[in-house]
Amino acid sequence: MWNKNKRLISNLIFVGALLLTLVCIELFAPPTSMWFSVLRKVCTFSLAAVSMNLLNGFTGLFSLGQAGFMLLGAYTYAILTIPVEMRSNVFRNYGDSVINFQMPLVPALILAGLIAAFFAFLIGLPVLRLKSDYLAIATLGFAEIVRGLVQLQNFGPVTNGPDPINMFTAPKNIMAYVAISGISILIIILIINSTYGRAFKAIRDDEIAAEAMGINLAHHKRLSFIISSFFCGVSGAMMAMCNTSVSSVSFTSAMTYQILLVVVIGGIGSVSGSIIAAFIFYASSEWWLKFLDLETFTASGSKVPLLGPGFRMVVFSVLIMIIVLFFRKGIMGTREISVYDGLMKIRSLFKGKQAVKEEK
């Protein structure tokens, strides 16, 4: 009991310290700093990755519909939070928007999640009966269908057709992103540690054995799919806030693959892994590797070979290939970050194994 509490407390202290660091960044970093755009993106995609992980890593349902659910969330959020006086301007190609009220941020976010969850329920009825790859293909197809439908002219008064939606409420403050993402991830962690979470893991490890133990497969699979899609919808809404503009062209299957890469790099079945991977992924692709895109000259005036626009992404994808090929389990495997265990390990390095054992 004491040991468990120690772990929990040390993790809480760690999260607190992390939050404090974020507040410091918010307050003291220069407004042009890359921290802001990167952190917003990291919050968004760590939620997307954790929700994908809930489905792929904890329930063993391989779905590639993330982009579709994110799109639903993003559109719902964006459409609902445009100020009333701006609406006729945004929807100028279609007369006016059919919705003529503006919702506050939090209810709109929840509604974004609910709409995604509702569609997950509908699409889940037929496709959740499919196995492994076929499920992945069907959900991928669903995402593409949603993307195609949203662009249709007929839906113009609701979705603005192929034109982007903008002018909606988008907080600049990174703490807002941290809060939304943090609360959502906390809920996911609580779900994972509940009886439902245990049932999900049982289904992942062996469907037939799980069924034999009395777990209702169809019910739990549907539940996991709906919960995951809810948070996907929320992360889609966050992505809308990040970009301050929503357009269906950004929600391609390539985005789903990107989230999948984040999940895999972090470790399939590790929440903290997904978050760390999201940070590394977006910080390095958008910030740390930026110098590779610039044509740099050495002191003697000769041009450094290879560097130039686009080189950053080449290096980045090579790094990803290296991780995929040589670190198959990702950063965390299926473990979670634990400050206490980490400290103990460090201590044992200094004291030698014997001393630590005696203390216990």
Partner 1 sequence: MNIMSYLIRGLATGGQFALVAIGYTMVYGILKLINFAHGELFMVSGILMIYIVADLPTLPIWLAIALMVVLTVFIGFLIEKFAYSPLRSAPRMSVMISAIGVSYLLQNLVSYVTGGLSKQFPDIPVIGESVRFLGVKDKLTVFLSPVIALVLMVILVLIINHTKFGMSMRAVSKDFETSQLMGIKINRVISITFAIGAFLAATGSILYFAKNTGINHLSGANPGLKAFIAAVVGGIGSVPGAVVGALIIGVVESLAKAFGLADFSDVISFALLIIILVVKPTGIFGEKTTEKV
Q: Tokens 């357009």 — which residue?
A: 247
Q: Can you tell me the distance from the alpha carbon of 71 to that of 81, in angstroms, rounded to the nearest whole number?
A: 15
Q: How far is the CB of 199 from partner 1 (least distance, A)?
A: 20
Residues 60-99 vs partner 1: string with x where CB under 8 A?
--x-------------------------------------
The identity of residue 75, as a single letter, is Y
Q: Per-residue string for binding with partner 1, 309-338, x by CB under 8 A? A: xxx-xx-xxx-xx--xx--x----------
Under rule CB under 8 A, residue 259 binds partner 1: no
- Minimal distance, residue 131 CB to partner 1, in Å: 8
* Interacting positions 126-145 with partner 1 (CB under 8 A): 126-127, 129-131, 133-134, 136-138, 141-142, 144-145
User: Least distance from C-beta 298 to partner 1, angstroms?
Assistant: 21
> What DSSP character marks residue 162?
T
Comparing C-alpha atoms, which of 55, 47, 64, 48 is closest to residue 220? 55
Amino acid at 142: F
The yes or no reply on residue 249 touching partner 1 (CB under 8 A) is no
Does 217 contact partner 1 by CB under 8 A? no
Contact 241/177 with Cβ under 8 angstroms? yes
Q: Least Å distance between CB 264 and partner 1? A: 5
CB of 146 to partner 1, least distance (A): 9
CB of 306 to partner 1, least distance (A): 9
Site for partner 1 contains 121 (CB under 8 A): no
Query: SS3 sequence, 248-261?
Result: HHHCCHHHHHHHHH
Among 35, 118, 257, 288, binds partner 1 (CB under 8 A): 257
Note whether 152 and 248 are within 8 A (CB).
no
What lies within 8 Å, CB to CB, of 294 at 6+ separation is 307
Among 149, 183, 294, 346, which residue interacts with partner 1 (rule: CB under 8 A)? Answer: 149
In the complex, minimum distance from the CB of residue 253 to partner 1, in angstroms, rounded to a whole number: 7
Q: How far apart are CA 269 and CA 186, in angstroms?
A: 15
Q: Does 193 bind partner 1 (CB under 8 A)?
A: no
**Least Å from the CB of residue 129 to partner 1:** 8
- Residue 98 is encoded by which pair of tokens? 């059919």
Cα dist from 1 to 5, 8, 186, 193, 240, whole Å: 6, 11, 22, 17, 43
Q: Is 308 in the site for partner 1 (CB under 8 A)?
A: yes
User: Hunting for tokens 């008064």 — which residue is that?
Assistant: 157
Q: CB of 250 within 8 A of CB of 243?
A: yes
Q: Would you call 10 helix, strand, or coil by DSSP?
A: helix
179 binds partner 1 (CB under 8 A): no
Among the listed ranges 5-13, 99-107, 187-195, 304-312, the one in contact with partner 1 (CB under 8 A) is 304-312
Sequence-distant (≥ 6) Cβ neighbours of residue 284 within 8 angstroms:
316, 319
Site for partner 1 in 1-40 (CB under 8 A): none
The conformation of residue 288, written as its DSSP 8-state character, comes to: I
Residues that bind partner 1 (CB under 8 A): 62, 126-127, 129-131, 133-134, 136-138, 141-142, 144-145, 148-149, 151-153, 208, 252-254, 257, 260-261, 264, 268, 308-311, 313-314, 316-318, 320-321, 324-325, 328
